[in-house]
Amino acid sequence: MRHPSRFLRRLGATAAAATAMVTLLPQAAVAAVVLDDGVVLQSTTGTDHLVTADRPAWAAAAVHSTSNYNISLFDQWGGWLASSYGYGSNRSEFVAVNSHLLPLASYEARTSTSYGPAVAHTQWRQSHTTTTLPYPANDGVTGPSDPDLAFAALGSTQVVSISDIHLKAGEAFWVDTAPDTLFFLLESNPYDNTTRLRSRHQHATAGVVRTAQGCTLYRANHSGVHGLLMVADAAPVATTPPGGTAVALHRYDPARPYTCPQRNFPGPTPPGV
């Protein structure tokens, strides 16, 4: 179970957002169930979900279960587009869509498992925010309220969160987490149509340059609108007060290639170290 995070409460980020929870009776995956942006659906069998990308933004369909659930995305005519699988029990799978480069459209997000009935939580999220990396004004950070930091956040009632971020090729930033845990940098090559849909295993280490001091350094390979995605390897749960997880982002300083300024997050990092 994920516990309340005082840092996320301080930020007042996505953890405070209400999420509708709808329970489906066990059923065969025949008729598609409409899955609205931000809603979490709970089911006990594989289900076909109708999702819609209605804004130019990154979006993602994700599923979590204590069993081994997979998720696949199909176009509106039933043609297979992408799948996420192989992470096993009590992990989350996702397929992300870059609607900055793809036409706005409806999709079918299909969850499935070969392990028999088990509770699965499925969510479709579109980005409604754009994250900006500040240019550092100070040496070191003072803690969660430091203006040199940006944040990605995931509320405890959510399966996935996503935000857009504009990056030029070569721009880099530190994140205070290990790769392929909670945080993913989503990137499309504007000259390669096959990169406009991204799955978890395709982006497990996408953009990763190195790890140091408990942080990961990410670098954009292409200029454009990228996605910042967080996924939970735990079932959604409501907490009192609302909680979740937040990771801090700090723009890379080439003068200190192996120094992560927010490595002590949420505590301060003294200047000059």
The mean pLDDT value for 162-170 works out to 98
More confident residue, 221 or 4: 221
Q: Calculate the average pLDDT of the chain.
A: 87
Return the bridge partners of 230, or none.
Answer: 161, 183
Q: What's the pLDDT band for 152 if we cut at 50, 70, 90? A: very high
CA distance 30 to 19: 25
Nearest C-alpha neighbor of 152 from the set 131, 173, 135, 172: 131
Q: What's the pLDDT band for 219 if we cut at 50, 70, 90? A: very high
3-state secondary structure of 195: helix
More confident residue, 209 or 20: 209
Phi, psi of 91 (to 5 degrees): -125, 165
